[in-house]
Amino acid sequence: MELIKENIEYEQLMAENSVDTILHGEYVIPDTLPDVQEVLMLDCDARIQSIQVLENKILVDGNCRYTVIYLNKSEEGSTVHCTSYSTNFNNSIDYNRNDSDVYGDAECFVEHMECSIVNERKVSIEGIITIKAQVFSKNRYEIVKDVDGASEIQFYKTPIFIDKIVENMDVDMSGQCKIKVPMSKPPIDKIIKSEASIYKRNVRIIDGKCKVELWAKISMLYKAEDNEGEIFSSEDEMVIEKEIPADNLRESMREISKFEVADMDVSIEEDDMGEKRSVNCSVLCKGNMRVLSKEELYAIEDAYCTTMPLDLNIEKHKINIMHDEVVTDTIIKGEIELEKEMPVPKEIIFCKPVLTISDKRVIDDKVIVEGVMTVKVMYKTNNEEIPMYSVEDDIPFTSEIQCDGAKPEMQVMARSCIENSDCEIEGNVIAVKAVIKTRAMVSYTVDKDLLVDLKEGEGDLPKKKASIIIYSVQKGDTLWKIAKQYNTTVEKILQFNDIDDPDNLQIGTKLIIQGRAVL
């Protein structure tokens, strides 16, 4: 007999953990800038640079870039200045499993960061970066799908659905755009901060290729010519597209992807009037995309032969099955109340919301994702001594996503991103509104006994002692179990008995089973 085998390959979330990393450093104001007398705002951008999975440990390296906006006060008045610093960070996250073929994924969030003045030429920055890491195992093994040349062998097969990995690819995408400063704002003297963020993505899989579209928001803060006391903002949007050929892709497949901005370059350009009102932006995005195909297999859990003994090698495996991927939009509203000692806002310059997921869980038919939206706002005032001011506050949010058939024991991976946001001055408060998109993938594991090898056993089959056997159905019996016990076949039992529902045997039912007699 010849064994027909099939390879099974799938990924499984093995461990998930987080760790806080404390950052602290002192930084000198560059010689080209005046003394610092009051810090207006500290903005931080933290990114993961590398991930390395070791035995029971995952190592994460990252970089945090600080932008410090501060005031210098003199007899001529207060002026706003900006300087940037950068520092690297690293940490390790423990996990309890020790599998040979694993890979990791991680993201980081600024939990808390503050800037204080050491002296007029030095500032101190300290805070906490939270790193959340996941470790996935790659499971590969062979199972017996069928046997050729042994018609007497009886198989007990059950259907299983496997999310087979078809492609696992790293994707680089780049795009360019031009931001034009309107005539209502002054020309650019110096860009003090620029950033890009992906707020929407669309991945379409068609036969033989994959099309990726990323929507990015580009924003910048700049100092104006002949106006050292003020900072202005400008923003634009761009779409980055790429088509990736892959012969084995089919429209019925689905993807799991993650994209983020890896780098951004800006350069100032003069317009036709000779004014610096144009900024050329080049954005590089990096991502990973895994394409999965849901395939139905009939796995052999047990077997026997009516003519010879069999030696079975059956292994127990935990198989990860994707239940569903669900998406929802959630509107977040909140208010930042200004204290009495804070200057009254005149105009919003800069509003930056950042999401952090604090908890995710599955309940019956739903996924619950909870988190915090941290909002930083910089605004202009009517106070000549403090022409600008900044505030920061946390707004909690909860996203409920309908997921039919979901159960509390299932696993969930979730990500949220801000699609659009807005803030307005309403009296003594700053009203914030944002629309976030939350994407959740729900999965579960099942224990399966799978036949991985089969060969002819030693010895002889036990001899049947009776010509005809009358068997009374017991609790938990199936036709398969009874047929195997008496070394016959399900077909023969059905042939000699009038059974209305073969899948649901009634306890106490009498069955005629052929023994030595020829019926």
Question: Could you read off the pLDDT of 47-72 as tens digits, one per residue?
Answer: 999 999 888 889 999 999 999 999 88
Tell me what pLDDT residue 384 has: 79
Q: What is the pLDDT of residues 152-206, one digit of tens each?
A: 888 888 888 888 888 888 999 999 999 999 888 889 988 988 999 999 999 999 9
Nearest residue to 141 via CA among 457, 456, 453: 453
404 touches 442 (CB < 8 A): no
Residue found under tokens 């994209």: 259
* CATH number of the domain enclosing 495: 3.10.350.10
* Domain assignment of residue 198, yes or no: yes
Tell me what pLDDT residue 228 has: 59
Domain's final residue, options 271, 305, 339: 305
* Domain assignment of residue 109, yes or no: yes
- Distance between CA atoms of 349 and 354, rounded to whole angstroms? 17
Domain's final residue, options 87, 120, 141: 141
- Distance between CA atoms of 112 and 469, rounded to whole angstroms? 77
- Distance between CA atoms of 359 and 438, rounded to whole angstroms? 13
* Domain assignment of residue 343, yes or no: yes
Nearest residue to 180 via CA among 213, 216, 218: 218
213 touches 241 (CB < 8 A): yes
* Beta strand pairing call for 468-472 and 345-363: unpaired
Q: Are residues 135 and 168 in the same domain?
A: no
* Domain assignment of residue 382, yes or no: yes
Nearest residue to 6 via CA among 199, 172, 164: 164
Beta-bridge mates of residue 170:
288
Q: Are residues 411 and 364 in the same domain?
A: yes
- Distance between CA atoms of 217 and 238, rounded to whole angstroms? 7
Beta-bridge mates of residue 408:
none
Q: Are residues 132 and 159 in the same domain?
A: no
Tell me what pLDDT residue 4 has: 85
Task: Provide mean pLDDT across the span 217-237.
Answer: 83
Query: What DSSP designation does 473 have?
Result: P
Two structure tokens written together for 461: 């089959």
Instruction: Determine which of 276-280, 394-398, 468-472 has the lowest per-residue pLDDT on average.
Output: 468-472
Please report which confidence band the pLDDT of residue 27 belongs to, taking 50, 70 and 90 as the band edges. very high
392 touches 376 (CB < 8 A): yes
* Domain assignment of residue 1, yes or no: no
Q: Are residues 278 and 394 in the same domain?
A: no
- Distance between CA atoms of 401 and 414, rounded to whole angstroms? 11
- Distance between CA atoms of 284 and 272, rounded to whole angstroms? 28
Report the number of distinct structural domains present in the chain.
4
Q: What is the H or E stretch that residue 494 is in?
A: helix 490-496
Q: Are residues 208 and 257 in the same domain?
A: yes
* Domain assignment of residue 455, yes or no: no
Nearest residue to 285 via CA among 137, 370, 174: 174
258 touches 203 (CB < 8 A): no
Residue 473 is part of which domain span? 462-514
Please report which confidence band the pLDDT of residue 217 belongs to, taking 50, 70 and 90 as the band edges. very high
Q: Are residues 405 and 502 in the same domain?
A: no
| Half-sphere exposure in the Cβ direction for 185 (13 Å, CA) | 20
Tell me what pLDDT residue 97 has: 65
Q: Are residues 180 and 160 in the same domain?
A: yes
Task: Provide mean pLDDT across the span 260-285.
Answer: 91
- Distance between CA atoms of 399 and 416, rounded to whole angstroms? 9
Domain's final residue, options 305, 339, 355: 305
Two structure tokens written together for 489: 């076949």
Tell me what pLDDT residue 229 has: 59
Q: What share of the chain is helix, strand, coil (3-state, %, to 5)?
A: 5, 75, 25
CA R_g for the chain: 32
Q: State percent of the chain over pLDDT 70.
A: 97
Two structure tokens written together for 383: 């106070």
Nearest residue to 103 via CA among 247, 316, 210, 258: 258
Query: What DSSP designation does 343 have?
Result: P
- Distance between CA atoms of 363 and 462, rounded to whole angstroms? 51
Q: Are residues 505 and 373 in the same domain?
A: no
Q: What is the pLDDT of residues 458-498, one digit of tens each?
A: 877 777 767 788 889 899 889 989 888 888 888 988 988 88
Q: How many CB atoms lie within 10 A of CB 321?
A: 16
282 touches 428 (CB < 8 A): no
Two structure tokens written together for 403: 């997921």
Q: Are residues 391 and 420 in the same domain?
A: yes
- Distance between CA atoms of 46 and 89, rounded to whole angstroms? 9
Query: Strand, coil or helix: what is 459?
Result: coil
Q: Are residues 394 and 267 in the same domain?
A: no
Task: Determine the Cα angle at 216 with ends 213 and 221, to 5°.
Answer: 165
370 touches 291 (CB < 8 A): no
Task: Determine the Cα angle at 155 with ends 150 and 158, to 5°.
Answer: 145
- Distance between CA atoms of 332 and 329, rounded to whole angstroms? 10
| Half-sphere exposure in the Cβ direction for 40 (13 Å, CA) | 30
Q: What is the H or E stretch that residue 495 is in?
A: helix 490-496
Nearest residue to 124 via CA among 23, 21, 20: 23
What is the dihedral angle through the alpha carbons of 95, 101, 102, 103, rounded to the nearest 10 degrees?
150
* Domain assignment of residue 313, yes or no: no
Nearest residue to 306 via CA among 454, 464, 148: 464
* Domain assignment of residue 318, yes or no: no
Q: Are residues 166 and 286 in the same domain?
A: yes
Q: What is the pLDDT of residues 120-136, one digit of tens each?
A: 999 999 999 999 998 88
Please report which confidence band the pLDDT of residue 354 belongs to, taking 50, 70 and 90 as the band edges. very high
Q: Are residues 228 and 184 in the same domain?
A: yes
